[in-house]
Amino acid sequence: MKFSLIVLVAVLTAGAGAGLAGWQPTGTGVGSVGSKTMPGPGATPTASVSSHNVTVSWTASTFAGGGAVPSYVVKRYDAVLGTAQTVAAGCGGLVSATSCVEAGVPTGTWKYSITPAAGTWRGTEGAQSSTVVVTV
């Protein structure tokens, strides 16, 4: 019995920490990876007012090496205080076009900026637009 216990302990100890793994690829071909570089700052937008709706337009950004940036983040700033504001419907979130209409903009003086975006990846925010004034 004593000999059996020693052999069992020796077998278990010898196997501790050892593991086997492997795989067999089933496909053929060459693998590759590509990357893109986000462009510099977004374009300086133009903005025009109609009542409490502001149309913001800008030129498209392209990745270094080619290809259009798929979307943009539009930001609105208080032109007097310089503080960022919540962007209303039409220009909020990711915008996939090169213009948008922010509806229901409050009375005030505003500036807009554009940041290129691809999914959660962001480029550099561009220069702010000229001031637009929304009146009562």
Exposure string over 75-101, b if 16+ CB within 10 A, otherwise e:
bbbebeeeeebebbebbeeebeebebb
The half-sphere exposure of 22 on its side-chain side, counting CA atoms within 13 A, is: 2
CATH (domain of 106): 2.60.40.10
Instruction: Using the predicted structure, report yes or no on whether residue 5 has a pLDDT greater than 60.
Output: no
Q: Could you tell me the residue range of the domain that residue 77 belongs to? A: 46-134
Instruction: Using the predicted structure, report yes or no on whether residue 3 has a pLDDT greater than 70.
Output: no
Any domain includes 5: no
Instruction: Using the predicted structure, report yes or no on whether residue 95 has a pLDDT greater than 80.
Output: yes
Q: CB neighbours of 29 closer than 8 A, spacing ≥ 6? A: none
Query: 3-class DSSP state for residue 134?
Result: strand
Which pLDDT band, with edges at 50, 70 and 90, does 117 fall under? very high
Any domain includes 110: yes
Any domain includes 128: yes
Any domain includes 86: yes
Structurally, the chain folds into a number of domains equal to 1
Instruction: Using the predicted structure, report yes or no on whether residue 19 has a pLDDT greater than 60.
Output: no
Any domain includes 93: yes
Any domain includes 111: yes
H or E segment to which residue 76 belongs: strand 71-78
93: left (phi over 0), alpha (psi -120 to 50) or beta: left
CA angle at residue 64 from 59 to 68, to 5 degrees?
45
Any domain includes 16: no
pTM comes to: 0.75
Any domain includes 29: no
